[in-house]
Structure 1
């Protein structure tokens, strides 16, 4: 059974309500049909009747709750909540209402903040910034969280590497060029996300173009420092670096380049040194190895809000919704 099928089964067992605010995108309705048919989540789709009718043609979304912000009975309540949250920034009621009616992701985040849903998935036709900005303004971060970061759950069919071909890649979407401390926190958060979503023991490789001092450069030093910080902050986790990708994945190369490592040759969580490397890396694996890549998922927000790649398929959206529902179920525990 593929990992995503296992995740879907978990989502079915503890069904949650997920908001889809991008009613202007056909893929959302194609995904919604499958989600509803398979019982993965209850859905709220935000949009006007015209938007929903135009973009849902040919899709059976029976069972979805359609909410038009222009006529919804709680829109004024959300407007008041928004003004209260942003009063220190001088947000007026007029400005709040204008944003609510024009930006469905903002509307959805306020629904989530009010407790009227369990999670939100956006990004099929919006940038990561447009998805995360309202989430951070309205829902904010989990208590004790040092930063919000992003990750992909990547499943490579038939691969002997990782956790039966399953990996977490981070940070592919948010932190452009993290310093050593941020990179360390990304590693720890990604290990926890792997443990919760994928299961099994996370083994975190701090990736570089160098393995254990084979090259000298400030970029290498950053990864070495990040590894030390992560090991000090989370001594119970398997975290090692700096490691080249082949040393992280291939047992015989890991044994040669990093003898004695608990991670080399066994890594299932890949932490890239910057956003360029991470984003390029996951897309290479997705397109050339025909891997399934679900995300970017977010870690560190107080309630589950997840992004999508604008190049996603409707099947990718189904997977991200299932994972979002699992994250929401975890918030209850």
Structure 2
């Protein structure tokens, strides 16, 4: 059995003067609690549990609320409640939410976590192990919003298996796997730009972007193929220095022998792609879960790239290791922003 790339060990000996403060909201999930205790032992992240004061009863198993370290619990007192109530009202003003709706939101650890993020009590937020991605994305887009100058937010997975990592010995990056169900050609080109930037940020390696399809270089004729070709053209027009190609099938993007058979061996991407742009959210979601479930995989995400503040969703099928890896990637982003 093969080994994972060294990417996952990048923080092992890191010493920081200020540890990123990462909040977790799904405190009734035993996987979150196990990951919390693992992360707490690390020297480069401060984990916080959010929302215990609004959840009745004891935590799973034998672990009760009072047994958790109080310095790692974030709650909302009356003064804080009023501050966050006003802040979340302001942030959502264009969505015409009323005061009663925001009061209900503040009973939800997700919105409490976003409030703590907006008021700088934490630096990053991990959510989603017990709720659909759509809920996390909606709250983040409404209350945090895209980073200035950023037109689109997307969900990125860093993913590899014990048998396959990129030719640069890094994970691959899959996008979009969380936000845009059926992006236009322009939307796909923007997703690709964010994914290329994200890959380079996390790995330090040059991105090679593959616009995925069921066709390679015109081998099939369909309006779905036309859409991918247009997305690639737009990407090249606005990002001429990036290496990208498409439309291309997954096997040709990964395997130079297949690329030669399909007559794209001269492509700058074929056989060595490290960033995969899926044509729809549906295909991206299915794709990453197939890799995850059919192999021994290492996964982080979906990391929500393009927000004003660092937030990551989690798959409801995530493992403890995936939660830890996602928190580490989010802490990388925090350190970049700070």
Same fold (TM over 0.5): yes
1:67-78 residue pairs with structure 2 within 5 A?
A: 67-69=74-76, 71=77, 73-78=79-84
Query: Could you say which residue in structure 2 is the equivalent of 1:202?
Result: 207
The answer to whether the aligner puts 1:46 opposite 2:50 as a matched pair is yes
Task: Tell me, in whole angstroms, the C-alpha distance in 2 between the residues paired with 1:156 and 1:118.
Answer: 30
Query: Could you say which residue in structure 2 is the equivalent of 1:264?
Result: 270
In the superposition, relative to structure 1, how do residues 11 and 321 fare at CA in structure 2: closer, same or farther (>3 Å)?
A: farther
Which residues of structure 1 form unaligned runs of 5+? none
Contact 1:7/1:323 (8 A) holds in 2: no
Secondary structure of 2:189's aligned partner: helix
In the superposition, relative to structure 1, how do residues 29 and 147 fare at CA in structure 2: closer, same or farther (>3 Å)?
A: same
* 1:157 to partner: Cα distance: 1.8
Query: Could you say which residue in structure 2 is the equivalent of 1:135?
Result: 140
Query: Could you say which residue in structure 1 is the equivalent of 2:160?
Result: 155
Task: Tell me, in whole angstroms, the C-alpha distance in 2 between the residues paired with 1:202 and 1:299.
Answer: 16
* 1:3 to partner: Cα distance: 1.8
Alignment counterpart, residue 18 of structure 1, candidates 10, 22, 40: 22
Alignment counterpart, residue 251 of structure 2, candidates 246, 249, 260: 246
Contact 1:33/1:61 (8 A) holds in 2: no
Contact 2:51/2:112 (8 A) holds in 1: no
After TM superposition, the structure 1 stretch with the greater mean CA deviation from structure 2, 15-24 or 41-50, is 41-50
Query: Could you say which residue in structure 2 is the equivalent of 1:65?
Result: 72
* 1:230 to partner: Cα distance: 0.5
Secondary structure of 1:260's aligned partner: coil
Query: Could you say which residue in structure 1 is the equivalent of 2:193?
Result: 188
Query: Could you say which residue in structure 2 is the equivalent of 1:119?
Result: 124
Task: Tell me, in whole angstroms, the C-alpha distance in 2 between the residues paired with 1:22 and 1:128.
Answer: 13
Query: Could you say which residue in structure 2 is the equivalent of 1:79?
Result: 85
Alignment counterpart, residue 318 of structure 1, candidates 312, 315, 324: 324
For residues 62-96 of structure 1, the C-alpha deviation after alignment (integer angstroms, 9 at most, x for no partner) is 47521233x36422111121222233444444432
Q: TM-score, normalised by structure 2?
A: 0.90
For residues 40-80 of structure 1, the C-alpha deviation after alignment (integer angstroms, 9 at most, x for no partner) is 411221123565842374598547521233x3642211112
In the superposition, relative to structure 1, how do residues 174 and 313 fare at CA in structure 2: closer, same or farther (>3 Å)?
A: same
Task: Tell me, in whole angstroms, the C-alpha distance in 2 between the residues paired with 1:205 and 1:230.
Answer: 11
RMSD, matched Cα: 2.2
Alignment counterpart, residue 290 of structure 2, candidates 275, 284, 296: 284
Secondary structure of 1:239's aligned partner: strand
Contact 1:45/1:65 (8 A) holds in 2: yes
In the superposition, relative to structure 1, how do residues 87 and 219 fare at CA in structure 2: closer, same or farther (>3 Å)?
A: closer
* 1:327 to partner: Cα distance: 0.8
* 1:199 to partner: Cα distance: 2.0
Query: Could you say which residue in structure 2 is the equivalent of 1:27?
Result: 31
* 1:120 to partner: Cα distance: 0.3
Query: Could you say which residue in structure 1 is the equivalent of 2:334?
Result: 328
Secondary structure of 1:38's aligned partner: coil
Query: Could you say which residue in structure 2 is the equivalent of 1:216?
Result: 221
For residues 153-177 of structure 1, the C-alpha deviation after alignment (integer angstroms, 9 at most, x for no partner) is 0022232644325200111122111
Contact 2:7/2:170 (8 A) holds in 1: no
Secondary structure of 1:31's aligned partner: helix
Task: Tell me, in whole angstroms, the C-alpha distance in 1 between the residues paired with 2:173 and 2:57.
Answer: 34
Query: Could you say which residue in structure 2 is the equivalent of 1:229?
Result: 234
* 1:136 to partner: Cα distance: 1.1
